[in-house]
Every structure is written in C-alpha cells, then in structure tokens.
Homo-oligomer: A and B are copies of this chain.
Amino acid sequence: MSDEFALIQQYFAPFSSQIGDDCAELIIPESMRLLTSVDTLVENTHFYSDAPPNQVGYRAVATAMSDLAAMGAQPVAATLALTMPEANDTWVHQFAQGLGEALAVQKVELIGGDTTQGPLTVTVQVFGVVPQNKVLKRDGAQVGDAIFVSGPLGDAAAALTVMNGDWPGGLEHREYLLTRFYRPSPRIDLGLQLLDIASSCIDISDGLQADAAHIGRASGVKLAIDHRRLPLSPALQSVPVIARAKQWAMTGGDDYELLFTVPASAIAKVPKGCVQVGKVVEGQPQEEGGWKHFAD
C-alpha cells in the first residue's frame, strides 16, 4: 500500500480500536452466537458519483447492520474495506464522518479494515451476537402465521426518482425521501424484541415481493400479501397515481424495514408501529414479478 493510502486511515481513528496488528480481535460472550454479514456498495451501481460522501458512509454501515436486525442480533463491531481511485482526503474525511455517525448509533467500533487503490467500492462487514438457539431465520414461517412489516415501504425506490428529477409527488416530501434512502434505520431494537415473537424474519432489501418469496421458499409456504394493507408514507400517498406508489412498495428495494411472520398466539405482542400485511398460506412462493396483478 502506498503511504498516502496508509495515511487516510487516520480519518477512521476516532471510532476505531485495535489499529496496529494483522488482525482485529473480538471476544464473544459465552452462550452467545456470533453473526456476521458483508455488504458492498459500488459507485454507479449502488450510489451515484455525486452522492454526498457522508451519506455513502452512513448508508454502508446502516444497510449492513440491517442484516443483523433481521436475525435479532445485537451489533458488536464492524470492519471496512475501502477501495478508491486516489487518496482523496476531503472525500474520505466526509465519508468517515458518516460512517462513524452510523457506528455511533449502534455503539460499535470499527475494529479493522483495508484501504486499497482502485475503483470506488465500499465493503462493510458487521458483527453481532444473539443468544444461542434464539436467532431469527427465514425458514420458520408456518401456515396461518400473520405477516407484518415494520414501517412504510417504497420510500427508497421513490427517492431514486427524486435524484433523477422524476418525482411525481409533493415537492415538500423530497428531503424525507432522500433521508430514507441515505440514512436507513436498521431495525435493531425491533429485531431484539422479535426474538421471542416472530417465526421468521428478513430485512426488505430486495423489495417486499422478492423478500417475501425468500421466506416462502425457505419455509416451504406462500406469503399472501394484501396490497391494500401496504403501509405508505405521506410522501408516497401524495403520488397522483397511487398504483405507482404501491408498485414501489411491493417491488422497490432498499427500505430496510423488517418483514416477519408471527403465530396467531403472539400477534398481541407485536410492537406498535408494525403493520399486518397478509397471511401465510399453503402453496408455492410467488415467482419474482408475480405480484404485478395486484397493482390497481
């Protein structure tokens, strides 16, 4: 690594520990299981070149943390592999601020990383712990379970139209939508609460339809979603053709809300703010794209 690439690591020091050895160390409490997830964001694939660096940093951590939320884990650490064309101090400084802000929300430190020269690529790996035998999985949904989502859907997909200048809804909602895209809130607290309630869980990163199919396939059931129950933010409710908003809610990814199933006996324990959107039934999971006929 060139010296200048070694030097930019200084920007991560304020929220890093253990800099200086070949590996980072983690001590896992007894009786806990370690969970890990890795997510890569690539310039021009996952974010635009002119995206604010602090937002890219924030989002990289938040989206990775969302995978921990989906399994009911408590975050304990993160690592960063950052590849960039040149050691751009200004960019890294802002990127590091956003990254550090998202880490601080979860009270975790960056325990290691690698900085290399090449096309702009951000790979964040997160670590969490969950009590043994309590982890939330995709394969536990049972026929008769209720299907819930943790909040409004489709906002991140709508945010892309704001960036492109195509947003058809009320102009006053643009800031809200961009915030939902760049600063997703991983539902860590909800995931912890769901450990004793949900029969299956996933975070909605590929879109409700695709992620419902993931649970369906893993559990050998079908998740029947009632499109009339999809929670829409005031922003999406302002879209003139509501079918378009519902399409975003059904197929748009990157919202990072949780989708989970709950046995009838536990419905009363589901935390406030979650919305029932359907029921687990017998049958094959919907094919990708199979929800289109639900559109108004």
- Judged by a CB distance under 8 angstroms, whether A121 is at the interface is yes
Q: Which are the 6 A-B pairs with shortest beta-carbon distances? A: A42-B118, A119-B119, A23-B35, A22-B67, A22-B70, A23-B37
A267-296 contacts to B, CB under 8 A, are 288
Cβ of B22 and Cβ of A112 under 8 Å apart?
no
How many copies, total? 2
The verdict on A125 contacting chain B, using a C-beta distance below 8 Å, is: yes
Residues 22-69 of A contacting B (Cβ, < 8 Å): 22-28, 30, 33-46, 66-68
Partner of A22, one of B81, B114, B121, B203: B203
Count contacts on A: residues with CB < 8 A to the other chain. 57
Q: Whole-angstrom distance from the CB of A126 to the nearest CB of chain B?
A: 8
State whether A24 touches B20 (Cβ < 8 A): no
B25 touches A135 (CB 8 A): yes
Most buried by B among A39, A117, A123: A123
Output the nearest chain B residue to A288 by Cβ-Cβ distance.
B3
The interface residues of chain B lying within 8 Å CB-to-CB of A192 are: none
